[in-house]
């Protein structure tokens, strides 16, 4: 199968190298020193005590990569708006578009959700350019439950987890979804087929929208945040607001009953990807994790004082460091 990876970083490498190793025709949109490294040394992934190296077609020009059966978008949120309109040469009528990203995706409410009708979210797709480029009908939603880090240009180290949840944006099942799950399962991923991928996205967001920004503004690892009673109490207040929003948009995450903070604590003490981005001086995913839930809450008339405070603090932190548009 022809698979186009958009982004050759931690998640892109964790997925792309493994698909290439299974004989799929993998190509990757990369740039700069990452592109040069992949062309010179192959695309490398350290996983399970070994280094996998994949020789793949790599370019910074989507037209050079051509039409794909599947594209997997493994960019950080702030990069998507500029890249999406350039991807047209890689997207044919039957191409499946799989965002492997955290946070609220551009398509999340394009088919409606709970009390809301079909809704575009300006906080993550201000001019509608991402939706115009990537649409809704060819999307398969996904949630990444794994962690990895780029240890050098074109060289990724897997850290933990192996789970990809995949689902049709409108819910239910389909033959194309089954084919996609089989593609990932055959390559060694735990590929879970979900009939409610929006719920799974919101459940992952429940953790990311607190742990990631709080770690970014404090510099703390997750264990230290959860061990601080005042910070843990604030976290719970933001989570309660996210739970109230979710209940109104078809994502009743509290029904799972699992102590979400305990799930995060089980991962041990680590730096979230947002803190890693702060330390690397990279733009941070504030809009996908915080601005979008706030926008949805406003459309529902849900008050979010704790989420408002966290968004304001994180946004100002990002602006002051050039990690978020001023
Ligand atoms: N890392 C993790 O453990 C996890 C990450 N996620 C989520 O997965 C998504 C991807 O994260 P992650 O892989 O960590 O991010 P990385 O920062 O490691 O990788 C993003 C890649 O996108 C590339 N990129 C950005 N803009 C362009 C462009 N215009 N053309 C070509 N390449 C471009 C970057 O290239 P360059 O280096 O040149 O900037 C970089 O290689 C995020 O939404 C993240 O929150 C989810 C779960 C865990
Ligand atoms: C590892 C985890 C779950 C922490 O929130 C994550 O998704 C991230 O760091 O972005």
Determine if ligand 1 sits within 6 Å of the CB of residue 11: yes
This model of the complex carries an ipTM of 0.97
User: 202-320 maps to which CATH number?
Assistant: 1.10.1040.10
pLDDT at 259: 72
Active site residue 299: no
pLDDT at 262: 75
4: left (phi over 0), alpha (psi -120 to 50) or beta: beta
Ordered per-residue pLDDT tens for the chain, 326 residues: 999 999 999 999 999 999 999 999 999 999 999 999 999 999 999 999 999 999 999 999 999 999 999 999 999 999 999 999 999 999 999 999 999 999 999 999 999 999 999 999 999 999 999 999 999 999 999 999 999 999 999 999 999 999 999 999 999 999 999 999 999 999 999 999 999 999 999 999 999 999 999 999 999 999 999 999 999 999 999 999 999 999 999 999 887 766 777 777 777 788 899 999 999 999 999 999 999 999 999 999 999 999 999 999 999 999 999 999 99
Pocket test for ligand 1, best of 45, 61, 75, 282 (most atoms within 8 A of CB): 75
pLDDT at 55: 97
Going from N- to C-terminal start, the domains of the chain cover: 2-195, 202-320
CA of 12 to the centre of ligand 1 (A): 7
Q: Is 222 buried (19+), middle (13-18) or exposed (0-12) by CB count in 10 A?
A: buried
For residue 12, the ligand 1 atom closest to its alpha carbon is 13
CA of 225 to the centre of ligand 2 (A): 14
CA of 160 to the centre of ligand 2 (A): 11
pLDDT at 264: 74
Q: Is 129 buried (19+), middle (13-18) or exposed (0-12) by CB count in 10 A?
A: middle
C-alpha distances in angstroms, 161 versus 36, 47, 94, 276?
A: 29, 11, 30, 18
pLDDT at 258: 66
pLDDT at 270: 83
Taking residue 21's Cβ as centre, other Cβ atoms within 10 Å add up to: 17
Q: Given 76, 159, 204, 319, which residue is catalytic?
A: 204
SS3 (DSSP) at 301: coil
User: 2-195 maps to which CATH number?
Assistant: 3.40.50.720
Considering every ligand atom shown, identify the ligand nearest to the alpha carbon of residue 264 and give its number. Answer: 2
DSSP classification of residue 139: B
Which residues contact residue 85 at a Cβ distance below 8 angstroms, ignoring those fewer than 6 apart?
129, 130, 132, 133
CA of 67 to the centre of ligand 2 (A): 31
Query: Counting runs of H as helices and runs of E as strands, what totals does the chain give?
Result: 14, 10
Indicate if the alpha-carbon torsion angle 154, 155, 161, 162 is positive or negative: positive
Encoded tokens for 116: 């809301």
pLDDT at 287: 98
Pocket test for ligand 2, best of 144, 200, 212 (most atoms within 8 A of CB): 212
Q: Which residues line ligand 2 (CB under 6 A)?
A: 102, 147, 207-208, 211-212, 272-273
Q: Can you tell me the distance from the alpha carbon of 167 to that of 195, in angstroms, rounded to the nearest whole number?
A: 6
Pocket test for ligand 2, best of 211, 221, 223 (most atoms within 8 A of CB): 211
């Amino acid at each position: 199968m022809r698979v186009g990876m958009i982004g050759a970083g931690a998640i892109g490498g964790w997925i792309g190298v493994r698909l290439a190793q299974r004989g799929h025709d993998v190509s990757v949109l990369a740039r700069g020193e990452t592109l040069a490294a992949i062309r010179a040394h192959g695309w490398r992934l350290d996983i399970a005590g070994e280094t996998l190296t994949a020789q793949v077609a790599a370019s910074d020009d989507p037209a050079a990569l051509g039409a794909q059966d599947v594209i997997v978008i493994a960019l950080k949120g702030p990069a998507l708006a500029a890249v999406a309109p350039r991807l047209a040469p890689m997207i044919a009528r039957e191409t499946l578009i799989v965002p492997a990203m955290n946070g609220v995706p551009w398509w999340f409410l394009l088919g409606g959700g709970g009390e809301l009708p079909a809704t575009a979210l300006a906080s993550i797709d201000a001019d509608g350019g991402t939706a115009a480029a990537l649409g809704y009908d060819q999307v398969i939603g996904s949630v990444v439950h794994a962690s990895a880090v780029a240890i050098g240009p074109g060289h990724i180290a897997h850290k933990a987890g192996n789970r990809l949840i995949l689902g049709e944006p409108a819910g239910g099942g389909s033959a194309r979804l089954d084919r996609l799950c089989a593609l990932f399962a055959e390559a060694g991923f735990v590929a879970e087929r979900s009939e409610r991928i929006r719920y799974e996205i919101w459940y992952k967001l429940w953790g990311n929208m607190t742990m990631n920004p709080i770690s970014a503004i404090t510099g703390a690892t997750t264990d230290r945040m959860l061990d601080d009673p005042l910070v843990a109490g604030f976290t719970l207040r933001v989570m309660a607001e996210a739970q109230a929003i979710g209940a109104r948009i078809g994502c009743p995450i509290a029904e799972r009953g699992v102590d979400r903070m305990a799930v995060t604590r089980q991962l041990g003490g680590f730096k979230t990807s947002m803190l890693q981005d702060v330390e690397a001086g990279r733009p941070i995913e504030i809009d996908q994790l915080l601005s979008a839930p706030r926008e949805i809450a406003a459309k529902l008339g849900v008050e979010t004082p704790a989420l408002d405070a966290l968004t304001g603090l994180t946004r100002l932190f990002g602006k002051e460091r050039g990690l978020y548009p001023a």
